[in-house]
Amino acid sequence: MNLDHDFDPHLDGPGKISRVMIWRDGEAREVELTWGFAPVKPGGRPLCLLRAEHWPVDNPCLVLANEFGLKQDGEIKYAASLITDEPFFCLAGTWRPARSGWPASFAVFTVPAYPDLEPYKDRHVAVVRPDDWYHWLMGTKPKDEVLAPYPLGSFRVFSTSRRRTAVQTDLFR
């Protein structure tokens, strides 16, 4: 999710710090939060992804991204990026302040797959349209409306293994 480089699961994702937009003191503010709420059970895994249809949006946030990984068989094999003229897009999330031994953190909502992504996953992170960023942060539109599916042709999907090979090749030139 870090915008200074392409998606890398060693640098981005659950447990890592990400740039997030929240609403505070009458304006959108960029903050850095840890991806993942405290585990529900002691010793459990952090809660990183939330099904949008089952979770309330108590403290909405927007996670800045330029692509996101699509995991298959436990490995990120593909990445997806919104086709846009904007330098980034935003994922729908909710955040919590720091509490008893857990840092301020966020989790990202998931939705049923958009048409471009259905061949790769049945669910994935929810992407908020730029026109709805304010509405998401302020809660001025229903969640289902803000998280409505994108039409076919809105995302490009590419293999992460091809990119790793290309990067490794460039390093040895």
- Using one digit for the tens of pLDDT, what is the confidence trace for 65-76? 999 989 888 888
Predicted pLDDT of residue 54: 93
Residue 3 inside a domain? The answer is: no
Whether 135 has a pLDDT exceeding 50, the answer reads yes
Residue 8 inside a domain? The answer is: no
Predicted pLDDT of residue 43: 84
Predicted pLDDT of residue 1: 39
pTM of the predicted structure, to 2 decimals: 0.83
As given in the structure block, the two tokens for residue 95 are 């955040």
Instruction: Give how far Cα 28 sits from Cα of 111, 135, 141, Å.
Output: 24, 12, 17
2, 18 Cβ separation under 8 angstroms? yes
Average pLDDT taken over every residue of the chain: 84
The residue length of the chain stands at 173
Whether 101 has a pLDDT exceeding 90, the answer reads no
Predicted pLDDT of residue 13: 59
Residue 68 inside a domain? The answer is: yes
3-state secondary structure of 125: strand
Residue 112 inside a domain? The answer is: yes
Residue 156 inside a domain? The answer is: yes
Q: How many helices (H) and strands (E) does the chain have?
A: 3, 11
Residue 7 inside a domain? The answer is: no
Mean pLDDT for 108-120 is 95
Predicted pLDDT of residue 42: 85
Predicted pLDDT of residue 162: 56
Question: What digits encode the pLDDT tens for the residues 2-49?
Answer: 333 343 444 445 678 888 999 988 888 999 999 999 988 888 889 999
Between 43 and 111, the higher pLDDT residue: 111
Give the structural domain span for 145.
17-171
Q: What 8-state DSSP symbol labels residue 40? A: S
- How many domains are there within the chain? 1
| Residue 144: CATH number of its domain | 3.90.1680.10
As given in the structure block, the two tokens for residue 33 are 């939060």
Residue 10 inside a domain? The answer is: no
Residue 9 inside a domain? The answer is: no
Predicted pLDDT of residue 116: 95
Whether 171 has a pLDDT exceeding 60, the answer reads no
As given in the structure block, the two tokens for residue 124 are 């994935």
Whether 91 has a pLDDT exceeding 60, the answer reads yes
